[in-house]
Amino acid sequence: MRFNTLDDMDLAGKLVLTRVDINVPVEDGTVTDATRIERIVPTIKDILAKGGRPVMLAHFGRPKGKVVPEMSLRVTLPALEDALGQSVTFIEKPDRATLDALPEGTVTLIENTRFTAMEEANDPKMAGFLASLGDVYCNDAFSAAHRAHASTEGVARLLPACAGRLMEAELSALDAALGTPLRPVMAVVGGAKVSSKLDLLSNLIEKVDHLVIGGGMANTFLAAQGKPVGKSLCEHDLADTARAIMAKAETTACTIHLPVDIVVAREFKAHAPSEILPADACPDDAMILDAGPATVAAFDTLLQECTTLVWNGPLGAFEMPPFDAATVRAAKLAGIATTAEDLISVAGGGDTVAALNHAGVADQFTYVSSAGGAFLEWMEGKTLPGVAALEAAKTA
């Protein structure tokens, strides 16, 4: 994968349109989690250091193409200024003359790009208007790169364009995980439903050497093998699909790993009485809520054989102890291997990030993506419009 970074661009004296993701949670007019804002700081600082003036473009909420005062980006200003350590100029209706008049060192934030329907329609007129506001385009919002919008794709094709530091790190990590990985590669895919990850599974079995399936998804595969799953969450109507995926894996030299033991309970609640049983011994009145210790031991053995790990989804109902045990233990083992530099580990997806934070190992992984939908689409092998535009871009 080839794309320009900030290191390839001449930014001195130039206005740098910088697409960021600062779609942060807000309560009572105050940002409650500034993580996304903090992650764009290196890009903004580097643009300033290279003599450029960053002009941030971002969306906030879903105003559906209309001006919704409650979804104004103005609410993010205090958190932005705190993270950057300097004032930020907010402009509702930008024009080139106003931006040109701003002094060197100014950081600017433009109002919510989704306040017009032209944004999500990727209207050429809006892309052209945005291009008129800058000299260089920098995309630092991988989390929005799966959307072909005016501020993520359209304008990128009209100006010299590059990836910001966050985008650069994300793309480099994903390329290391699935593009040109060090082998053997193992993928962990968990979560509730097979139906939501069919494209993901189909793509992964063509790219990885080992595929570990956990969570509610594993129940569907166990049932497809004729094993009882009791009252477990299970998509019985996808049994043929699961068998087809397992058959395809045999033709691609990908080994699928399912739980060899299970943790079952009669109630879906924290601390419900539970027992550990072989994977083929779930009682009719019980439900599978986690993988057992033998499964985690097998995971550990597999981990020691592999060089690269891609993780999306928990192995059990990790929100409820003690059914978080397999996910926490497996995550800790991956963290230890990564810290020892025996493993390249890349993880992403909302539940995955929450699970790794719950296990206290998110900072031990090589890279943890907070991109959500974009991360999933990348793992599915889909082309992300925002990334494709960067790959086609010219330098300044």
Q: Would you please indicate which residues are annotated as catalytic (active-site) residues?
A: 36, 193, 350, 373
> What radius of gyration do the chain's Cα atoms show?
23
Buried b (16+ CB within 10 A) or exposed e, 283-302: eeebbbbbbbeebbebbeeb
Q: Minimal CA–CA distance to 390: which of 161, 145, 164?
A: 161
Contact 58, 23 (CB under 8 A): yes
**Residue 5 DSSP class:** B
Looking at this protein, which amino acid is placed at residue 370? S
Beta-sheet pairing, 210-213 with 30-31: unpaired
Annotated binding site for substrate: 21-23, 36, 59-62, 114, 147
Contacts of 174 (CB under 8 A, 6+ apart): 346, 369, 375, 378
Annotated binding site: 21-23, 36, 59-62, 114, 147, 197, 319, 349-352
Annotated binding site for ATP: 197, 319, 349-352
Give ∠ CA 3-183-364 in degrees, rounded to 5.
75
What is the SS3 assignment for 321? coil
Annotated binding site for (2R)-3-phosphoglycerate: 36, 114, 147
Q: Minimal CA–CA distance to 201: which of 218, 176, 224, 183?
A: 218
Contacts of 210 (CB under 8 A, 6+ apart): 184, 185, 186, 187, 254, 255, 257, 302, 306
**Residue 382 DSSP class:** P
Buried b (16+ CB within 10 A) or exposed e, 218-247: bbbbbbbeebebbbbbbbeebbebbeebbe
Handedness of CA 336, 328, 360, 371 (dihedral sign): positive
Structure tokens at 90: 């907010």
C-alpha span between 236 and 315 (Å, rounded): 19
